[in-house]
Structure 1
Amino acid sequence: MHLIRAHEFGTADVLRYVEDEPPKPGHSQVRVRLHAAGVNPADTYVITGTYAFLRPQVPFTPGWDGAGVVDAVGPGVTDLSSGQRVFVAALPLGSSGTYAEYVVTGIESVHPLPDSLTFEQGAAIGVPYLTAYRALFQRGGARVGETVLVHGASGGVGIPAVQLAVGAGLSVIGTAGSDAGQDLVRAQGAHHVLDHTRAGYLEEIQDLTHGRGVDLIVEMLANENLENDFDALARHGRIVVVGARGPVSFTPRKTMIAEADIRGTALWNMRTDEIAEAQAAVSRQLEDGTLKPVVGRTFPLAEAAEAQRYLMNRHAYGRVVLDCG
Structure 2
Amino acid sequence: MSGRKEMRAIRVANYGGPEVLKVDPKVPVPVPSDTQVLVEVKAAGVNPVDTYIRSGSFGTTGRPLPYTPGSDVAGIVSKVGAKVTKFKPGDKVYVIRNVSGGYAEFTVAEETNVGKLPTHLSFSQGAGIGVPCYSASRAYIKAKGNFKPGNTVLVHGASGAVGLACVQIGKAKGLTVIGTAGTKEGMDLVLKHGAAQAFNHKEQGYIDKVLEATNGTGPDIIIEMLANVNLDTDMKIINKGGIIVVVGSRGNVEIAPRLLMFKESIVTGFALWNAPPEEIVEMHQVISEGLTKGWLVPSVQKEYKLEEAPLAHEEIINNTGTTGNRILIM
The TM-score by the shorter chain falls in which range? Answer: over 0.9
Report the equivalent of 2:59: 52
Separation (CA, whole Å) in 2 of partners of 1:11 and 1:267: 24
Q: Does 1:82 align with 2:101?
A: no
Report the equivalent of 2:101: 97
Q: Does 1:223 align with 2:223?
A: no
**CA shift for structure 1 position 139:** 4.5
Match of 1:318 among 320, 324, 328: 324
Identity %: 42
Report the equivalent of 2:70: 63
One-letter amino acid matched to 2:204: A
Match of 1:269 among 263, 274, 284: 274
Separation (CA, whole Å) in 2 of partners of 1:61 and 1:318: 23
Report the equivalent of 1:31: 38
Where 1:60 maps in the other structure, the secondary structure is coil
Q: Does 1:303 align with 2:308?
A: yes
How big is the alpha-carbon RMSD for the aligned residues of Structure 1 and Structure 2? 1.3
Separation (CA, whole Å) in 1 of partners of 2:82 and 2:111: 11
**CA shift for structure 1 position 231:** 2.9
Separation (CA, whole Å) in 2 of partners of 1:39 and 1:201: 30
Q: Does 1:12 align with 2:7?
A: no
Q: Does 1:143 align with 2:147?
A: yes
Where 1:230 maps in the other structure, the secondary structure is helix
Q: Is contact 1:140-1:238 (8 Å) kept?
A: no
Report the equivalent of 1:291: 296
Q: Does 1:208 align with 2:213?
A: yes
Q: Is contact 2:143-2:243 (8 Å) kept?
A: no
Unaligned runs of 5+ in 2: 1-6
**CA shift for structure 1 position 316:** 2.2
Unaligned runs of 5+ in 1: none
Alignment of 1:95-244 (within 5 A): 95-139=99-143, 141-145=145-149, 146-244=151-249
Separation (CA, whole Å) in 1 of partners of 2:283 and 2:306: 29
Separation (CA, whole Å) in 2 of partners of 1:169 and 1:144: 9
Separation (CA, whole Å) in 1 of partners of 2:82 and 2:148: 44
Q: Is contact 2:143-2:221 (8 Å) kept?
A: no
CA gap of 1:225–1:261, structure 2 versus 1, over 3 A, is: same
Q: Is contact 2:153-2:223 (8 Å) kept?
A: yes
TM-score (norm 2): 0.94
Q: Is contact 2:299-2:325 (8 Å) kept?
A: yes
Separation (CA, whole Å) in 2 of partners of 1:96 and 1:149: 36
**CA shift for structure 1 position 167:** 0.7
One-letter amino acid matched to 1:77: V
**CA shift for structure 1 position 204:** 1.4
**CA shift for structure 1 position 273:** 2.2
Q: Is contact 1:163-1:188 (8 Å) kept?
A: yes
Q: Is contact 1:202-1:231 (8 Å) kept?
A: no
Q: Is contact 2:142-2:245 (8 Å) kept?
A: no
Report the count of equivalent residues: 321
**CA shift for structure 1 position 31:** 0.2
Give every structure 1 segment of 4 or more consecutive aligned residues whose post-TM-superposition deviation is greater than 4 Å: none
Q: Is contact 1:53-1:268 (8 Å) kept?
A: no
